[in-house]
C-alpha cells in the first residue's frame, strides 16, 4: 500500500521598528512532501522532503534570505 501527502504554506512576517533600519517584512515559503510504501503489514519505508525559503531585505548589512532543503529516508516498523 502507498500513502502520500503534500503541504504548502506562505506567510508574511513584519518586524516593526528594528533599530537602526526601522521596520521590515519577510515573505516565508515552506513545503513538505511525504511518501510511504508498506512492504508488509508490519514493515514500511518512508521518505519526507522539506523546503524552506525566506525572502527579505538586507538588515544591518546582513542578508536574511535563505533556502533550505531537508530529506529524510527510513524504515517504519508497526507493532
pLDDT in tens, 8-40: 999 999 888 767 677 888 999 999 999 999 999
Any idea what the Cα angle at residue 50 is, between residues 72 and 3, rounded to 5°? 65
pLDDT at 19: 72
pLDDT at 47: 98
Report the percentage of the chain scoring pLDDT > 90: 68
Any idea what the Cα angle at residue 70 is, between residues 67 and 36, rounded to 5°? 140
pLDDT at 16: 85
pLDDT at 53: 96
Is residue 48 pLDDT above 90, yes or no?
yes
The residues, ordered by sequence, that sit 6+ positions from 70 with a Cβ below 8 Å of its Cβ are: 49, 50, 51
C-alpha cell at 9: 504554506
Amino acid at each position: 500500500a502507498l500513502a502520500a501527502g503534500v503541504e504548502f504554506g506562505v506567510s508574511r512576517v513584519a518586524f516593526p521598528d528594528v533599530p537602526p533600519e526601522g521596520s521590515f517584512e519577510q515573505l516565508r515559503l515552506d513545503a513538505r512532501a511525504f511518501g510511504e510504501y508498506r512492504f508488509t503489514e508490519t514493515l514500511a519505508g518512508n521518505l519526507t522532503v522539506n523546503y524552506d525559503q525566506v525572502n527579505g531585505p538586507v538588515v544591518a548589512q546582513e542578508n536574511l534570505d535563505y533556502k533550505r532543503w531537508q530529506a529524510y529516508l527510513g524504515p517504519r516498523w508497526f507493532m
